[in-house]
Amino acid sequence: MEPSRHDGLAELHRRYYPELVRLAFALTGDWSLAEELGQEAFVRAWRSWGSIRRQQSAPAYLRATVINLARTSLRQRLREIRAWRDVAIRRQAEAAVSPDVLRALAQLPPRKRACVVLRYYLDLSEADTAAALGISVGTVKSQTARALARLRPLLAEGSAPSVIPLPGNEGGP
């Protein structure tokens, strides 16, 4: 009699999970990521259990899944590294933010500050800012508008020019 999906996967997990984690670690160099990839491989096996033709091929399926997940995570990590490198290169080329702007930003609540910094310092779109903060685009718009309204008088008090394009100050510094 063929074991149930639960029993079959429980036995596979007992026998192969440590091997899959070692495989993922060898591919990624990150233990916590390796554990996540091993777990994800079993989640995918659970979902695909009916399409695994022979239960004897399940270990090979799990290994292939871990390899593919590791490859995908490494590509994602490389994209993130490139994106951060590009931001760092842009930052080095830009003029430093004035101390007055930093003091004004420090007076904003964290979410408003994050919206302004992501939108204008990192030059992210509203959609990218919303995704980075886990909020809606509408919230980004309203928080940014309120933050800019609060920054306007704070920066008018300071003597240094703003690098944040406030409405009526679109020319920048």
∠ CA 162-168-173 to the nearest 5 degrees?
Answer: 25
Domains along the chain?
5-92 (1.10.1740), 95-157 (1.10.10.10)
pLDDT above 70: percentage of residues in the chain: 76
Question: What does the pLDDT read at residue 91?
Answer: 59
Question: What does the pLDDT read at residue 123?
Answer: 83
Beta carbons within 8 Å of 102's beta carbon, 6+ residues apart: none
Question: What does the pLDDT read at residue 96?
Answer: 60
Query: DSSP for 53-101?
Result: S-GGGHHHHHHHHHHHHHHHHHHHHHHHHHHHHHHHHHHHHSPPPPHHH
- Count of other CB atoms within 10 angstroms of residue 88: 10
Residue with the larger pLDDT of the pair 161 and 29: 29
∠ CA 62-68-70 to the nearest 5 degrees?
Answer: 100
Res. 98 pLDDT band, cuts 50 70 90: confident
Give the model confidence (pLDDT) of 119-173 as tens digits: 888 888 899 888 888 899 999 999 999 999 999 998 886 544 444 544 444 444 4
